[in-house]
Chains A and B, each alone.
Chain A
Amino acid sequence: MSTRPPLAAPVGAPLVQVRDLDIALPSHSDRALAVDGVSLTMVRGEVLCIVGESGSGKSVLASAIAGLLPGDSLRVTRGSLDFDGQDVLGLREPGLRRLRGARIGYVFQEPMTALNPLLTVGRQVAEALLAHGRSATPEKIAELLAAMRLPDPQHLGKRYPHELSGGQRQRVAIAIAVACGPELLIADEPTTALDVTTQAEILRLILELRAQRGLSVLFITHDFGVVREIADRIAVMQHGRIVEQGPAAALLADPRHDYTRRLLAAVPKLQASRPASPRENPVILELRGIEKVHAGRRHFLSQRRKTTQAVQGVDLSLRAGETVALVGESGSGKSTLGQIITGLLDRDAGGFTLDGSPIHTARDLFTPKWRPEVQMVFQDPQSSLNPRHSIRRILTEPVLLQGVTRTEAEARMADLLVRVGLEPSVANRRPHAFSGGQRQRIGLARALMLRPRLLVADEPVSALDVSIQAQVLQLLDELQRELGLAMLFITHDLRVASQVADRIAVMQSGRIVEEAATATLLSAPRSAYARALLAAIPGERAASSPSSPGNTTAPPSRHDAQTRPLKPEFIPESPPVFDTDPIES
Chain B
Amino acid sequence: MSHRLEHPLLHPLVLIGFAVLALLLCCVLLADWLYPGNPWRMVGQPNLPPLSPGFPAGTDMLGRDLAAGLVHGSRATLAVALSVVAIATSLGLLLGVAAGYLGGRVDEALVRAAEFFQTIPGFLLTIIIVAILSATPAHIVFSISLIAWSPIVRVVRAEVLSLRSLDWVRAARVSGLSHTRIALLHILPHVLPQVMVQASLMVAGAIMIESSISFLGLGSRDFISWGFLLGSGRTSFQVNWWLSTLPGLAIFLTVLAFNLVGDGLERWLHPKSDRRHA
Contacts and interface: CB of A to CB of B under 8 A. Distances in A.
A418 B248 CA distance: 62
21 contacts: A343-B173, A344-B173, A368-B176, A371-B174, A375-B174, A376-B174, A378-B170, A380-B167, A383-B167, A384-B171, A385-B168, A385-B171, A386-B172, A387-B271, A389-B186, A398-B176, A398-B177, A401-B181, A432-B1, A446-B175, A447-B175
A388 B193 CA distance: 12
Contacts of B11: none
A45 interface: no
A384 B174 CA distance: 12
Nearest to A378: B167
Interface of B: 1-3, 5, 166-168, 170-177, 181, 186, 189-190, 271-272, 278
Given A385-B171, A447-B175, A449-B175, 14 more contacts: A28-B3, A30-B1, A342-B174, A366-B176, A374-B174, A378-B167, A380-B167, A384-B171, A385-B168, A387-B271, A401-B177, A402-B176, A432-B272, A450-B176
Contact of A388 (B5, B171, B271, B278): B271
B168 A386 contact: yes
Contacts of B271: 387-388, 430, 432
A385 B190 CA distance: 13
Contacts of A378: 167, 170-171
Contacts of A401: 176-177, 181
A8 interface: no
A401 B172 CA distance: 12
B168 A383 contact: yes
A2 interface: no
Chain A interface extent, by class = 35 or more
Interface string A395-410: 0011001100000000
A310 to B, nearest CB: 17
Nearest to B5: A28
A387 B271 CA distance: 7
Contact of A398 (B2, B166, B168, B175): B175
A433 interface: yes
A28 B174 CA distance: 38
A547 interface: no
Counting chain A CB atoms within 10 Å of each CB, which of B2, B170, B171, B190 scores highest? B171
Given A342-B174, A398-B176, A73 B278 contact: yes
B219 to A, nearest CB: 42
Contacts of A342: 174
A214 interface: no
A443 interface: yes
Contacts of A376: 170-171, 174
A157 interface: no
Contacts of B190: 388
A199 interface: no
A161 interface: no
A387 B272 contact: yes
A372 interface: yes
Contact of A384 (B5, B167, B186, B278): B167
